[in-house]
Each structure stands twice: as structure tokens, then as C-alpha cells.
Amino acid sequence: MIPYSSVRAMIDKLRIKPENPDKQLKALSGGNQQKVVFAKWLMLETPILILDEPTDIEVIFAPEFGGWTEDGGFSLMEDMLAKHPNIDAVFAENDSMALGALKAIQDAGRADEIKIFGFDGQRAALKLISEGTNFIATGLNSPTLIGPMGFNHLMAVIAGAERVNIDTVFPVTVITEENVMQYYDPESVF
């Protein structure tokens, strides 16, 4: 989880000026704070800009949840494409839903028009990023960092620690075509 102070610092660094950023970020869980900052950074790297003045950019949220699955992402994206024909970018909360959205976008013949961003660093997403597809980027959610930290917390509790920090900060690496080969492992389970 990213601490609130780090989220604020990133927003300030990116010169993001939402109407009331404190209220928006405090209402989000830590993981969602990461994703908001990540999405806003990605948007600055694409033709999408977040400005403090009115624009013609419309942000549309899916009315339902994709259940962290490809099937869920596929179904939601089909519905979104039917209802909103001018979509030009998709940010999914995990790579599985992003992969499902990609399939729906391909089936609609719009792969050249819509950029896709995910989160987790899943092998299939990394492969697509390395191939230069419209799956542009993902955020690394590394089990090699999370697993040992979880184990260390467990051992501390077993050893009788009175208090174990439940808020653990892990760095998020943005994986793009430029750095994907540092993370892509074709033999990876995930």
C-alpha cells in the first residue's frame, strides 16, 4: 500500500490538480491509491491529459465489476464498447480483466484504436507489451516481494510480536515496451 503522503507527493510531482484531491484520495483504499496515481501517470504519457480546466475528455467507469477474470473483463468491455463507441483507452485494475477487455476490443476490430493498461505484471500481459501491441503497460505486483514480506510478518506473529505493521509499502514498477524484457519470463507461472 502506498502511504497517503507518497500519493500526495506523486500528484504534486505530476502537477495533477483535481478539484479536491484530498477528498478523492482519502476515500480510496491503499491499492486503489496506487492505481489512481499509476493511471494518471500513464495518462500523461499518452494523448490523454488530466487538467485543472474543463476539457472534452470523458472518463467512463464500468458500471459493474469484472471479478478479476478475463471473462469478466471481456463481458464488461463488450458492454462498454456498445454503449460508448468513442473509447480510446482502458485501464483495468488487473491484467486478467485487461486481457479480457483486449479480446473484446479485438473482436470489435478496434485494436488499433484503443490502448490498454493493466496492473499485476502477468506473463501474458508482458508478452503482449513486448510484442508492441495495444496493451501498452502494466504495473508490477511482485510475488517475490510480497511473499517473503508476508512470511516475515507471519513469523513475527508466531514469535509473539505485539504489533506487526499491517500497512506495508511495496514499490510499483511501471512496465512498458522499453523495460518489459527485464521482467518477462516465458516460464513464469503467473
pLDDT tens track for 31-57:
444 455 545 545 444 433 333 344 455
Give the pLDDT of residue 3.
Answer: 46
CA-CA distance, 72 to 14, in Å (whole number)? 32
The amino acid that residue 25 corresponds to is L
Specify the domain boundaries for CATH 3.40.50.2300 within the chain.
Answer: 60-190
Residues 6 or more apart from 23 whose CB is under 8 A from it? none
Give the pLDDT of residue 125.
Answer: 97
- The predicted model gives 166-174 an average pLDDT of 74
Give the pLDDT of residue 11.
Answer: 56
User: Are the C-beta atoms of residues 112 and 163 closer than 8 Å to each other?
Assistant: no
DSSP structural state of residue 62 = -
Give the pLDDT of residue 190.
Answer: 80
pTM over 0.75, yes/no: no
Give the pLDDT of residue 133.
Answer: 95
Top CATH class, 60-190 = alpha beta
User: Are the C-beta atoms of residues 116 and 98 closer than 8 Å to each other?
Assistant: yes
Cell numbers for 27: 476515500
User: Are the C-beta atoms of residues 123 and 131 closer than 8 Å to each other?
Assistant: no
| Residue 89, phi then psi, degrees to nearest 5 | -155, 145
